[in-house]
Structure 1
Amino acid sequence: MTQFQVRRGARPFALSTVASAVCLLGLVAQTQAQTPAPAPTQTIERVEITGSIFKRLSDQTALPVSTIRAEEISARGHVELKDFLLELPESSTIGFYSGTVGTLINLRGLGQARSLTLMNGRRFANEPLTDQYVSANTVPKIAMSRVETLRDGASSIYGSDAIGGVQNYYTFKTFTGVKLKADMMEPQRKGGGDTQGYAVLAGIGDLASQRWNVYGGFEYSKRNVLFRRDRPELSGLDANGLPNTNLSPDLIAMGLAGSTDLNSSTSTPANFLVSLAANGIPNGTVYNPYATTGCNSPISVRSSATATTCSLNVRSLNLSTYGNGTDLSNWYGKGTLALPGDHQLSLEVNHSMNHIFQYSNVVGITNQNYYLSLPKTSKWYPGGTGGVPITRNASGNVVVANASLASSPARLYLRWAPLDAGLPEIREEHVNDRVVLASEGTFLGFDYRAGLNWGRATRNTMRDNVYRTAALQSGLDDGTLNPFGLQDAAGMKYLQDNQIDKDIRRKAQTTNTSVDLTLTRELMDLRGGPLTFGLGLELRRNQWQAWGFATNDMTVVPGAIQAANTTAAYLGKVPTTYAEAIPNSNQPDSTMNGQATRKVHSIFTEVEAPVLRSVTLSAAVRADSYKYSHQTINGVNPKIGVRYQPTANIMLRASANTGFRVPSLPELFGNADGIRSGRIDDPLYCDSLTNTSKNPSLTTSQVCDVDIFEVTSTRSNGTKLKPEKSRAWTVGFGLQPSPDVAITLDYWSTTVRNMLGTVNLDTLVANYGFYEAQFIRRADGTIERVQNTKANAGDMRASGADFSFKLRLKTADVGTWTPSLDVSYTNDIATRLVGSTEWISALATSEPLGITTQDGLTGNRATMHRWKHTASLSWRGGKWSWTLAQRYQSKLRDRNEPARVNAAGSEGARDVRPYESFNLTVGYNGFKGLRLTAGINNLFAENPPLTNNSRYQGYQTQIADVLGRAYRMSAEYQF
């Protein structure tokens, strides 16, 4: 709810447009004539409002703050906070997010690192891999009372790094009694994505009469993984992974009806080379003993009609996911003691553990990774006693056989993915602990608030069902393992005995220790009220440590082998021994990836001056000093605001601020490279329109639509990175023609300079002349890799408007109706690269921003719709209630993949259609202390909209939930 004096108990109503909302104003007068609105009898308490030092009434702020209470989140049908964040119009949070971090807030599309997540006004320890954001999964939902979102950045009290805004989760100040809750959500379609959860909250002690209160709670929830194979119609495949013949005409017309190519790059059974070049790069043709006899169908298929290799039937083992599985538990406790002299002492303890289970299509050893080898002494050598056939080429001539026939090299160099003993699983373990000792009260005429805050976040990346390369090589050397087919009993036992579970691939940890003190006092009376002054300071110490390898480096290899130390291989440092490629220890402590400490000293002040009864001015300034071992980064950022209220029913407000965000500790001191693959047209030698080579020495296949490797690096050498700096302003008004109606409208604008990030691959290609040095070429002129290092990549700007409409219609006969509408309209979002004067717009398009703002989150980008709204209609009467909620987002211009000769692609511009979904919730509270709720999510089973962007294979799943229709049930009992 927008913070503008709306009566408590108001609930939202679904509307599709602002015009519909405004039309409802005409009903107010008639309704009030039939049933006079009772005068408010509630005593309104001054409370903390996010974005200010001072406690005040909720409508006494010049800042755009939105508030939604926990019961309203439940009424809208949200089982997880993920769904709530997805519904926020001002956030570009990803839809059915399959990442390994959790649920993140991304206000205004400026990136998660520029949106500050707090609980009760204080920080958590950041997620440690990148040290830049906090997952909302850390928040104990069972103890949450409300969520406030400051849609205006650079808060003077919380930190000027909050460029995009602040989201503040408040827990109950006190709680007595016992509350039990259980809920579940089950998709109508079979497969995963279902959620179950339960929670308990209990408290004793009355703070007012007994002077103390203690409460605590526990909650647990589990969401099962949703595989792409569970929604075959969204990727053009049927339930068996074969091309789907029952697709919509639209999908077929777009050429996205599912590929008939069942191949992958995974070698099962193993493919081999006869020899390697001196530098470890493959030399010669790759073969498979079964290529001419059908491979190992249906597990593997011939790579092509005339190929000499076999590959995994990727459709039969499609492990790509729309949403990962999660296993989340939260413990929370709070004790409050009222001391003599108007003082309160409190202690908060929070422990969160979240396991995220990730799967992907298996991959084998590629042509630049470390190779296993098979000696000719093995019975599984082609033509040997194990029954593996002699290897022949496409012409039928013998290539490799045992010593009694033709060629028999001492070793064959293998690409192999052993699948017999099971498939690999990646598990991300996130642990976040937080302890806050706080005191507040009055001392020497000052209201004070003080706290000691300690937090620690740990992230372990573990793999189950993995093998060490050395163990696999040993099994090949002694003839136990058969790389060319399913294992016999001895080979299967060997694989099972050598599997490793819960192997830590990498580990990272951050700690946040801080002391804060805030003092406020009324100094003198002005014409409109007291002049109020506030002063605060905060001392923080941040630590970051990381062990293990970078994102694409493995200390062990999964069941489908992916070689360790790939970064070294791609940089020309191919390991020559197993010990060099694979460390002996499976613990990451032997390889320090980076560590650093910084101290942050901050002082801030705020003044509020009601110079007239109708005019209140406010000003704040914050000075931050970030101290590192080699440098100090300082910043001073002011914020001003004005609030004009000529009548009790009209309020105008405006604010302006600056902000800055220093590089995170991993950005400054990280020591890791990551590798990801991509396909591009060589911007120098490929003619994309004709799909031909412009270099007579290179073929089309060498320069057009080629596989390349992008090496992303955090090796910034510290001092090369500068802080981001921002300027932002908002202006708006609030209108309350009656106690039951409230309307707000705010326009906002934010510009960020020196944005930290990487330039995305498409932009590097499109601006080749500027980024030519980042394209590393081989001697023949083909691209070997693209080097992409974190830098101050350019500037970003965004602007738009927020609209809110709230209405309460109470009648004696038909209960209370509450319609609500919250709209975010984005007018502009664009980036400007370093050295350029041109702004590249990303508004209402599925094209990515020129600068990656997702701060290490792979596969995601800020998709900014021009129009997003959340609307709801609620009714309450007697023991029953219901809420119908709608989420809507406007169309996007599609990416429009370039058309090619004899290849699928789109010609001409097209749009990704608008998307909307409805949730229906019905509640019953006819039993004492018990509230039952049932509902339907995605009431009309709306699929995500179609796109021709190849990364989605048909449907734009980033902006929409792919579960389809789902049913919810919840029971809450309080006594």
Structure 2
Amino acid sequence: MTQFQVRRGAQPFALSTVASAVCLLGLVAQAQAQTAAPAPAPTQTIERVEITGSIFKRLSDQTALPVSTIRAEEISARGHVELKDFLLELPESSTIGFYSGTVGTLINLRGLGQARSLTLMNGRRFANEPLTDQYVSANTVPKIAMSRVETLRDGASSIYGSDAIGGVQNYYTFQSFKGVKVKADMMQPQRRGGGDTLGYAVLAGVGDLGSQGWNIYGGFEYSKREVLFRRDRPELAGLDANGLPNTNLSPDLIAMGLAGSTDLTASTSSPANFLTTLGSNGVPNGTVYNPYATTGCTPPLSVRSSATALTCSLNQRNLDLSTYGNGTELMNWYGKGTLNLPGDHQVSLEVLHSANDILAYNSPVGTTNANYYLSLPKSSPWYPGGSGGVPVVRNAAGTVVVADANLASSPARLYLRWAPLDAGLPQLRDEHINERVVLASEGAFLGFDYRAGLNWGRAQRNTMRDKVYRTQALQTGLDNGTLNPFGIQNEAGMKYLRDNLIELDTRRKAQTTNSSVDLTLTRELMDLRGGPLRLGLGAELRRNVWQAWGYATNDVVVVPGAIQAANTTSAYLGKVPFTYSEAIPNSNQPDSTMNGRAVRKVNSVFAEVDAPVLKSLTLNAAVRADSYKYSHQTIKGVNPKIGVRYQPDRTWMLRASANTGFRVPSLPEVFGNAEEFRNSSIDDPLYCNSLTNTSNNPGLTTAQVCDFEVTQIVKSKSAGTTLKPEKSKAWTVGFGLQPSPDVTITVDYWSTMVRDVLGTVAIEQLLANYDKYAAQFIRRADGSIERVLNSKANAGDMRASGTDFSLKLRIKTADIGTFTPSLDVSYTNDIATRVVGTSEWVSALATSEPLGVSTQDGLTGNRATMHRWKHTASLSWRGGHWNWTLAQRYQSKLRDRNEPARVNAAGSEGARDVRPYESFNLTVGYNGFKGLRLTAGINNLFAENPPLTNNSRYQGYQTQIADVLGRSYRASAEYQF
């Protein structure tokens, strides 16, 4: 084990407690194997079962593919209250953790992107999350009915679809269940205030498949996690209870210059920033001002953008303005009925309904959108210098710089960048619904074993915003003097805002359906020296439908009338309330609607041959041909896969496989019209001298060209350009050792290359290669950048490689019970991207720096990170009615995203690392009462905080890889009768 670490160059981590225990117990096991007399094994029937990645049923250890299996009991024993926690600790996954947005929990195998990891249940697809039609949230899986999870750590599966470039995760439910099981779970952080979870579930079934030939069972589960605000963990933000900088707390934050710091951008604020002039295209431009900048703005709500700026900025690290984690409410209903028929046939019907609501508190939304600005007339009492008492803007010498109501030369209107906060934080509620019905049959017919199924699924996503205002109503209130954009409203202003507050505004709806029929035939053809030669043939016909109404992710224009039409024409879609319809009347408004409907038909045939040419050597070959038919084109692909397994005796084994795959563009990528707005602070590559932070253009100020905020519009389709499919090549090679029945070691090396990656070019690459992408920078008449356009395209290539290592032991003792240590390691050797037309590969390994190509399609930015070393270790013990498990998760360091000091706080610039992270979970169980199983545990036993990062997205702590709940206590009770 130590040699393996040194040879592979893994980061040293001083063999933590659990890892040391694993190695020590391995030596004990070896000694025990040499001295203990073998006990007589009980007679048992070994059943061949379906294994992920192959047509044929086989023993779980008879595969040439790297498949990891974990049972539901082990997931619970490791202290996982949610499947999110299980996915987060998988060494081979780069799953997003607590900071997971409003999509839900997504698997991201090998860091290749959620869209390239296929999520299945019982070997069949779900309907995809409908906004992007590219992935499935694990929250859809009914935990109460789950028996095991298999993760195929290999490339494109010839069985399930060649789009599974990163791998496949397959959730299996119980084949049958008899009796009643009820379960309750709770998880409470030691620090009160948010983030606690409560859940309960029931599962009941009747009938015995063996003796009666039938079984029916069904279950329901409910769980809720509370929102965790930053005010619940003030010491992690370097702030006191009032949200002000606190030098007595968080010395690590203070040392980095992050304690109490702000996101220093001169954009929206409360009080409002303003501009005084219009450009030739009718867009406000010029210098930005704020009446309260020289007096320090309104801390802690807002602070001065910089020591010299005449603007205010919202304190994005303010305890009341942001959260560490979203709230979720999950309900799953699941049922399955199975019937044995004469003639060796079995029919089953499976029904799922999942509803997952995610509540996010957004940062205050400004009232500016692309080319539309609210404005304040000079007649308003709240005009600077007017009767309302708003001060004028003065420079350091005390001279009035700009607008004053008492001066005839003052502008007639001020154009505002204002984020109204009088009603509190705006909320984003995402309702995810996923339904599935599967009718399946299997048995024997005309010498073939067959499996057939009808699969129908539908996914719906409804996005609602709460506590936002009607834009036209705000403008009316400014025009008539009711609203004050530069301070807290008086009684009349508050009443006006309350009367125009929008609650549960349905901004968009999206829906996908997946209908398919599949048939698989297998039979033995002849006997070879190692066993029967087996042939498998299969076909699948699928029909995917995507439809969407509304606007894209963070477009602040309000709901279009199409939502209202959808509510009146579709009973299903009409379940979400419709509030109002309003559009901003501006001819320059970008086209940001995502209304659309598209259909795709997928026809697939596949075959597999399994040839045990010798007792020790088995060859496997498979091929899949897919035809994706769109309304305007058909994309076809044929992808083979080969595998070999060599096992001369029971103590060791070699295996290898190679495959190709391809992933076609999703329906929204081809037909969608959505736009996602991303705000970034950039330097104009033409006119900003970044070294001196000054303007090279005499007609433009420094504020217009250096460190200014620009909106990047990321379009979901390629503006008429035909998108090609991604194409991949991957291979794995590995070996396994089993010197005794109680010791198993496996090592697998893997490598994947993906060409023509469907994604977007990172804005950093656009800026660095301005000559190539100049057309994507839309400039105003005066030459300043107005916005940046970016579209989905075949943006470049991606590669990744690494090694997986697994050690599993079982140590039986006569006096103190059985110990079961295990260690699973993923060592990533390389992951990198290159932009189309370039030869330079940009490494994404062990770094928080942005990639050249965004691989996380449908998610904002490049959130996934790949650590060089990740492992999960556990030590379990069972004796009598008691059991316990100590589990550890470890991730090696990252190179931090070292942003310029002027973007973050002073002192944060320069090379630094995000330190390694590890956490321990302890679980204790007791089953001494008939039918009752009690479990208690402590998560994050040593209250380890996430590591610090300069990346402004996380505002101090990197909550992507770990949450900030601190030490948490949990308990569960399960009763079965």
User: Secondary structure of 1:952's partner?
Assistant: coil
Correspondence for 1:433 among 435, 440, 451? 435
Q: Secondary structure at the match of 1:494?
A: helix
Which residue of the other structure, out of 632, 635, 638, is the alignment partner of 1:633? 635
**Which residue matches 1:192?**
194
What is the distance in 2 between the residues matched to 1:463 and 1:443? 55
Q: Which residue does the alignment assign to 1:31?
A: 32
Aligned ranges 1:738-817 → 2 under 5 Å? 738-817=740-819
CA 1:903/1:542 → structure 2, altered by over 3 Å: closer, same or farther?
A: closer
Mapped partners of 1:125, 1:242: distance in 2: 47
CA distance in 2: counterparts of 1:450 and 1:258, whole angstroms: 60
| Matches of 1:396 and 1:415, distance apart in 2 | 24
Equivalent residues in 2 for 1:862-877, closer than 5 Å = 862-877=864-879
**CA apart distance, 1:774:** 3.1
Q: Give the counterpart letter for 1:27 in structure 2.
A: V
Structure 2 match to 1:147 = 149
Q: Which amino acid aligns with 2:792?
A: K
Provide Cα deviations, 1:290-320, integer angstroms capped at 9, x if missing partner: 7788876765667678877666565556422
SS in 2 for 1:581: coil
Q: Which whole-Å CA distance do the structure 2 matches of 1:590 and 1:788 have between them? A: 13
Match of 1:924 among 916, 923, 926: 926
Name the counterpart of 1:7.
none
Asked if structure 1 preserves the Cα contact closer than 8 Å seen for 2:271 and 2:487, the reply is yes
Structure 1 window deviating more from structure 2 (241-250 vs 164-173): it is 241-250
Separation in structure 2 between the aligned mates of residue 371 and residue 778 of structure 1, nearest angstrom: 16
Residue 561 of structure 2 corresponds to residue 534 of structure 1: no
TM-score (norm 1): 0.90
**What residue is the counterpart of 1:465 in the other structure?**
467
Counterpart residue type for residue 760 of structure 1: A
Q: Per-residue CA shift, 1:802-839, capped at 9, x if unaligned?
A: 11111111111000100001111111111122122222
2:584 pairs with 1:581: yes
Change (3 A) 1:397 1:771: closer
User: 1:644 Cα deviation (Å)?
Assistant: 1.0
Cα distance in 2 for partners of 1:902, 1:959 equals: 21
Match of 1:933 in 2: 935
How far apart, in 2, do the equivalents of 1:283 and 1:668 lie?
Answer: 35
Alignment of 1:482-493 (within 5 A): 482-493=484-495
- Are the aligned partners of 2:263 and 2:316 in contact in 1 as well (CA < 8 Å)? no
The CA deviation at 1:854 is 0.8
Contact 1:318 1:361 in 2 (8 A): no
**2: distance between equivalents of 1:533 and 1:817?**
42
The alignment-based identity, stated in percent, is 81
Distance in 1 between residues matched to 2:66 and 2:263, nearest whole Å: 53
Q: Tell me what 1:81 maps to.
A: 83
Aligned match for 1:130, one of 123, 127, 132: 132
User: 1:235 offset after TM fit, Å?
Assistant: 3.4
Q: What CA distance in whole angstroms lies between the structure 2 residues aligned with 1:582 and 1:472? A: 14
Per-residue CA deviation, residues 116-141 of structure 1 (Å, 9 max, x unaligned), is 00000000000011100000000001
Label 1:297 to 1:546 Cα distance change in 2 as closer, same or farther (>3 A): same
Q: CA deviation at 1:914?
A: 1.5
CA separation in 2, counterparts of 1:206 and 1:609?
A: 36
Q: Which residue of 1 aligns with 2:607?
A: 605
- Could you tell me which residue of structure 1 aligns to residue 568 of structure 2? none
* Structure 2, unaligned runs of 5 or more: 1-14, 560-580
**Matched residues in 2 for 1:830 and 1:902: separation?**
27
850-859 or 349-358, which deviates more: 850-859
- Give the corresponding residue for 1:565: none
Amino acid paired to 1:26: L
Asked if the contact 2:290–2:310 (Cα under 8 Å) also holds between the matched residues in 1, the reply is yes
Give me the TM-score of the superposition, normalised by structure 2. 0.89
2:61 maps to: 59
Structure 2 residue aligned with 1:681:
683
What residue is the counterpart of 2:951 in the other structure? 949
What secondary structure does 1:27 align onto?
helix
Task: Tell me which residue corresponds to 1:621.
Answer: 623
1:680-759 aligned within 5 A: 680-691=682-693, 700-717=702-719, 720-759=722-761
Residue number in structure 1 paired with 2:185: 183
Tell me how many residue pairs correspond in the alignment.
935
Q: Could you say which residue in structure 2 is the equivalent of 1:371?
A: 373
Whole-Å separation in 2 of the counterparts to 1:398 and 1:732: 71
Cross-structure match for 1:112: 114
Q: Which residue of 2 aligns with 1:50?
A: 52
Q: Does 1:448 align with 2:450?
A: yes
What pairs with 1:388-427 in structure 2 (closer than 5 Å)? 388=389, 395=398, 413-427=415-429
Q: Distance in 2 between matches of 1:361 and 1:553?
A: 14
Give 3-state SS (helix, strand or coil) of 2:455's partner.
strand
* Partners of 1:62 and 1:702 in 2: CA distance: 60
In structure 1, the partner of 2:648 is 646
Match of 1:575 in 2: none
TM-fit CA distance, 1:217: 0.6
Matches within 5 A, 1:558-573: none
Report the AA paired with residue 756 of structure 1. Answer: L
Aligned Cα RMSD in Å? 3.1
Are the counterparts in 1 of residues 887 and 922 from structure 2 also a CA contact under 8 Å? Answer: yes
Structure 1: gaps (5+ residues): 1-13, 558-577, 584-588
Change (3 A) 1:480 1:936: same
Could you give the per-residue CA deviations for residues 370-402 of structure 1, whole angstroms, max 9, x where no partner exists? 2334567767667877x5557575547697787
Instruction: Please report how far the alpha carbon of residue 784 of structure 1 lies from its aligned counterpart in structure 2 after TM superposition.
Output: 3.2
CA contact (8 A) 1:50 1:148 kept: yes
**Kept after mapping to 2: 8 A contact 1:287/1:391:** no
Q: Shift of the alpha carbon at 1:247?
A: 4.3
Output the CA distance in 2 between the equivalents of 1:489 and 1:933. Answer: 54
Q: In the alignment, is the contact (CA less than 8 A) between 1:267 and 1:415 conserved in 2?
A: yes
- In structure 2, the residue matched to 1:282 is 284
Return the offset for 1:925. Answer: 1.0
* Secondary structure of residue in 2 paired with 1:133: coil
864 and 482 in structure 1: CA distance in 2 versus 1, 3 angstrom threshold? closer
1:501 CA displacement? 1.8
Compared with structure 1, are the counterparts of its residues 309 and 944 closer, same or farther at alpha carbon in structure 2 (3 Å cutoff)?
closer
Q: Secondary structure at the match of 2:473?
A: helix
Q: In 2, distance between residues paired with 1:788 and 1:115?
A: 25
Conserved? CA contact 1:31–1:811, under 8 Å: no
Name the CA distance, whole Å, in 2 between partners of 1:277 and 1:897.
Answer: 32
- Residue aligning to 2:362: 360
- Residues of 2 paired with 1:384 and 1:906: CA distance? 41
Deviation at 1:941, TM superposition (A): 1.0
Work out whether residues 262 and 315 of structure 1, in 8 Å CA contact, stay in contact via their aligned partners in 2: no
Following superposition, the deviation at residue 519 of structure 1 comes to 0.6
Shift of 1:891: 1.7
Tell me: CA distance 1:901–1:309, structure 2 relative to 1, closer, same or farther (3 Å).
closer
* Mapped contact 1:882–1:923 kept (Cα < 8 A): yes
Residue by residue over 1:558-599, the C-alpha shift from the partner in whole angstroms, topping out at 9 and shown as x without a partner, is xxxxxxxxxxxxxxxxxxxx965169xxxxx99652221110
Contact 2:620 2:644 in 1 (8 A): yes
Q: Deviations over 1:66-85 (max 9, x none)?
A: 00000000000000000000
1:310, 1:249 → 2: CA distance? 27
1:892-931 matched pairs, under 5 angstroms: 892-898=894-900, 904-905=906-907, 909-931=911-933
Partner Cα separation in structure 2 for residue 30 and residue 302 of structure 1: 68
Q: Secondary structure at the match of 1:241?
A: coil
Deviations 1:416-464 (A, max 9, x none): 4433333321101111111111111111111111000001111111011
For 1:920, the aligned partner's letter is: L
1:493-522: CA deviations, max 9, x gaps?
333333222211011111100000001111
Query: Secondary structure of 1:345's partner?
Result: strand
**1:700 Cα deviation from its structure 2 partner:** 4.8
Compared with structure 1, are the counterparts of its residues 410 and 766 closer, same or farther at alpha carbon in structure 2 (3 Å cutoff)?
closer
Query: Do 1:669 and 1:717's aligned partners in 2 also have CA atoms closer than 8 Å?
Result: no
User: 1:499 and 1:213 mapped to 2: Cα distance?
Assistant: 53
Instruction: Tell me what 1:567 maps to.
Output: none
Distance 1:477 1:90, change over 3 A: same
Contact kept, 8 Å, 2:64 with 2:656, in 1: the verdict is yes
Matching residue of 1:498:
500
